[in-house]
Amino acid sequence: MGPSHSVQEGDSRPLSRRVEFKGQLDELFEMRTRWLRNALGGGPPGRIPKFSREKVNRAISRMQNTANEALARGAAREALRLRSSPKSS
């Protein structure tokens, strides 16, 4: 892993949640800007998908769930680390 990844070996789930969140955000942005990319000639061929408030709300809900899972796991890991670290008096 590169220096920008602070995940310990054998612990790839938090990283995968971050990657999943980023992918969901990128997908939403791509869907939102597809019409512009097609108008400029850089978009993929095919029909432009509809972009509606319902799709945005679903995407936001998915991203919130993904972020909550990543944050909860990180908080649990930190609590475990604090609990298992030797106390200095």
Taking the C-alpha atoms of residue 86 and residue 81, their distance in angstroms, rounded to an integer, is 10
56 or 45: whose pLDDT is higher? 56
pTM of the model: 0.60
Residue 61 confidence (pLDDT) above 50 = yes
φ/ψ bin of 50: left (φ > 0), alpha (ψ from -120 to 50), beta (otherwise)? beta
Give the domain extent around 24.
13-81
Q: What is the model's pLDDT at position 56? A: 92
Helix H or strand E segment including 74: helix 53-84
Domain count, the chain: 1
Q: Is residue 64 part of a domain?
A: yes
Q: What is the model's pLDDT at position 87? A: 67
Note the pLDDT tens digit of each residue in 67-84.
898 888 888 888 888 888
Average pLDDT, the chain: 79
